[in-house]
């Protein structure tokens, strides 16, 4: 299976469990790798046959910027469900990074891999 990717998608969000985190918006960084058969768009050279990564990005930015979760784990699961449910993606690998959350580390976060049910 082919993969379409989005790398380094930055979104400002309210996320965290500590009081100071509940008062500020933080930058989150998303990397997605989505299973998609690219043979049809390659054959037709028609954008309508592609996985529209701009639409995926826009949808995630819209959702994440309005979200208010305590845990990155919860947000990652919700984002995976959106991508699998609203776009023609059979599997995805989603990395959600929270830069600067731990002193001395560039970022912390989660990597999840999910498939569409059925």
Phi, psi for residue 4 in degrees, rounded to 5: -110, 135
Per CATH, is 3-115 categorized as 3.40.50.970? no
Q: How far apart are CA 33 and CA 111, in angstroms?
A: 11
Q: With a cut of 50, which residues of the chain have pLDDT below it?
A: none
Contact 28, 10 (CB under 8 A): yes
Q: Report the catalytic residues.
A: 98
What is the residue extent of each domain of the chain? 3-115
pTM of the full structure: 0.93
User: Which pLDDT score, from 0 to 100, does residue 118 have?
Assistant: 54
Contact 25, 12 (CB under 8 A): yes
**Percent of the chain at pLDDT above 90?**
82
Which H or E run includes 44? helix 39-44
């Amino acid at each position: 299976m082919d993969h379409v990717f989005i790398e380094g998608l930055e979104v400002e969000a309210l996320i965290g469990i500590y009081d100071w985190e509940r008062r500020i918006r933080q930058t989150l960084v998303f990397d997605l790798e989505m299973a998609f058969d690219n043979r049809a768009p390659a054959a037709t050279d028609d954008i309508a046959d592609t996985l529209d990564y701009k639409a995926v990005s826009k949808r995630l930015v819209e959702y994440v910027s309005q979200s208010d979760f305590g845990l990155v784990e919860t947000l990652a699961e919700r984002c995976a469900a959106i991508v699998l449910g609203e776009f023609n993606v059979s599997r995805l690998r989603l990395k959600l990074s929270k830069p600067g959350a731990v002193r001395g580390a560039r970022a912390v976060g989660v990597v999840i891999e999910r498939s569409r049910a059925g």
